[in-house]
Amino acid sequence: MKTSLIILAAGKGTRMNSELPKVLHPIAGDPMLVHAMAAGATLEPVHTVVVAGHGAEEVTAAAQDYDETATVVVQSEQLGTAHAVAQARDALSGFDGTAIVLYGDTPFVSSETLEEMMSAAEGADVVVLGFEAADPERYGRLVMDGTSLERIVEFKDASEEERAITLCNSGVIACNATLLFDLIDAVGNENASGEYYLTDIVGLARSRGLKATAVTCDEAETLGVNSRAQLAEAEAAFQARARAILIEDGVTLQAPETVFLARDTVIGRDALIEPNVVFGAGVTIESGAHIRAFSHLEGCHVSRGAVVGPYARLRPGAELEENAKVGNFVEIKNAVLAEGAKVNHLSYIGDAFVGAHANIGAGTITCNYDGVMKHHTHIGANAFIGSNTMLVAPIHIGDGAMTGSGSVITSDVEPDALALARAPQVEKPGMARKLMEMLKAKKAKTQRSS
């Protein structure tokens, strides 16, 4: 069945007390909007239409950064959810499949739930996603007759009997696109808020003899975010679920509550993650890797048997091949460490290739930036880079070559050669004592004059 997504993302989010559009506030490193788009993407939609309003330019950039084919339309006035969905009409002109309406501030609706809604849509004209609420508060209620959904009643318009219903409306709806816009044309705003409610299409469909039904999901999937407090709750909920999935899949988290994951973090079975590790976007950790405490990783790949940290930072483009080692206070950026290579302490390796089994001494820096351009450093297999070496890129260190500690290397080094580039040591007998006496005398004079 052909599918298109309509994602409502026009709200300002006044309760967030922020200049940033509500749907762009991040959970697990990605905007809430992207979470909603990613869930819908599993349906392989023909079209993805994002309805923006406040901060439309920023919302457009975020949506198209995730999916460059996404269409963004603008709801210039916020007149209700039906009015918002209507803004997608032109973008879906000629599309005759099922449209699913999602919300950019409801990031946790799962792909499995959306698949279930699509299956239900094969036998019903309108499908609504509902949930049993522990505390119904002010949610709209789903009024059911067996498996038939008769109508949705907003809390403000509900009778006491209807308010006693605990099956609540998430707002997510699946409906044939042509029918959806036809029903929206009939929606009025004669209600307590004076808005055009998308939920009214259920009653309108039933009045035409069409079939409506509901699919239910866990309440946690329908968590909406309207405040900073709810954003924190959503972050905690995501992290708890993501950690639990990793543990179930065979990953060891020594202190799960201290490990923070991104939406797309991938960690293989038998990997070991020590406490206080933060994963940014785009990280893959292979089976059997070991990430030690207080490390920060983003945009990188760590292969089987590799060890990272403690207190290490892997930045985008870092690639650690099997059994490579990155130690404490080491930063790797846009660089490959080949099999068995070691950068064990206090070094920066950027825009570089480090060959198999090379050993990089403490304090080594690849001087990759000249103020305008970035330049590449190549370190060959089995090379040994002495402590406190500065490698001024572009530069090529041959296989098996060595550099002396404290060297500033500005030219290529041939394979198996030893490169020394430091000033010769000069010793001046008795000069230390004379210098100290001179300094003490100067200090004493300064104190007398004050």
Q: Where are the domains of the chain?
A: 3-222, 233-419
What is the C-alpha to C-alpha distance for residues 5 and 58, in angstroms, rounded to an integer?
20
Which of 156, 130, 124, 154 lies closest to 144 in space, CA to CA?
130
Q: What is the pLDDT of residue 234?
A: 96
Q: What is the pLDDT confidence band of residue 194, given thresholds at 50, 70 and 90?
A: confident
Could you report the per-residue pLDDT of 74-108, keeping only the tens digit for each? 999 889 999 999 999 999 999 999 999 999 999 99
Q: Are 101 and 43 in contact (CB under 8 A)?
A: no
Q: Is the pLDDT of residue 146 over 80?
A: yes
Name residues whose C-beta falls within 8 Å of residue 393's C-beta, 6 or more positions apart in sequence: 351, 352, 366, 367, 368, 375, 376, 377
Q: Is the pLDDT of residue 135 over 90?
A: no
Whole-structure pTM over 0.85, yes or no? Answer: yes
CATH superfamily of domain region 233-419: Hexapeptide repeat proteins (2.160.10.10)
State both tokens at 440: 């003490």
- Consecutive H or E run containing 41: helix 32-41
Q: Are 205 and 212 in contact (CB under 8 A)?
A: yes
Q: What average pLDDT does the structure give for the chain?
A: 95
3-class secondary structure, 248: helix
Q: What is the pLDDT of residue 154?
A: 84
Residue 406 zone, left/alpha/beta (φ > 0; ψ -120 to 50; rest): left
What is the C-alpha to C-alpha distance for residues 447 and 445, in angstroms, rounded to an integer?
5
Q: Give the DSSP per-residue string, 310-325.
A: SS-EE-TT-EE-TT-E
3-class secondary structure, 416: coil
Q: What is the pLDDT confidence band of residue 389, given thresholds at 50, 70 and 90?
A: very high
Distances (CA, A) of 360 to 185, 246, 336, 341: 69, 33, 13, 8
Q: Is the pLDDT of residue 239 over 90?
A: yes
Q: Is the pLDDT of residue 450 over 80?
A: no
CA atoms within 13 A on the CB side of 162: 18
Could you report the per-residue pLDDT of 401-429, keeping only the tens digit for each? 999 999 999 999 999 999 999 888 889 99
Helix residue ranges, H only, 45-143: 56-66, 81-86, 111-121
Could you report the per-residue pLDDT of 68-81, keeping only the tens digit for each? 999 999 999 889 99
Number of residues assigned to the chain: 450
Q: What is the pLDDT of residue 21?
A: 95
Mean pLDDT in residue range 291-312: 98
What is the C-alpha to C-alpha distance for residues 6 and 52, in angstroms, rounded to an integer?
11
Q: Are 342 and 325 in contact (CB under 8 A)?
A: yes
Q: What is the pLDDT of residue 132?
A: 93
Q: What is the pLDDT confidence band of residue 360, given thresholds at 50, 70 and 90?
A: very high
Q: Cite the active site residues.
A: 345
Q: Are 50 and 32 in contact (CB under 8 A)?
A: no
**3-222 matches 233-419 in fold:** no
Q: Is the pLDDT of residue 192 over 80?
A: no
What is the C-alpha to C-alpha distance for residues 185 and 201, in angstroms, rounded to an integer?
9
How many Cβ atoms from other residues are within 10 Å of residue 164's Cβ?
10
Q: Are 392 and 364 in contact (CB under 8 A)?
A: no
Q: What is the pLDDT of residue 227?
A: 95
Provide the CATH topology of domain 3-222.
Spore Coat Polysaccharide Biosynthesis Protein SpsA; Chain A (3.90.550)
Q: What is the pLDDT confidence band of residue 430, given thresholds at 50, 70 and 90?
A: very high
What is the C-alpha to C-alpha distance for residues 377 and 397, in angstroms, rounded to an integer?
8
Q: What is the pLDDT of residue 392?
A: 97
Mean pLDDT in residue range 55-64: 96
Q: What is the pLDDT of residue 61?
A: 97
Task: Report the DSSP pairing between strands 126-132 and 167-176.
Answer: antiparallel
Q: What is the pLDDT of residue 446?
A: 86
Name residues whose C-beta falls within 8 Å of residue 319's C-beta, 6 or more positions apart in sequence: 300, 301, 335, 336, 337
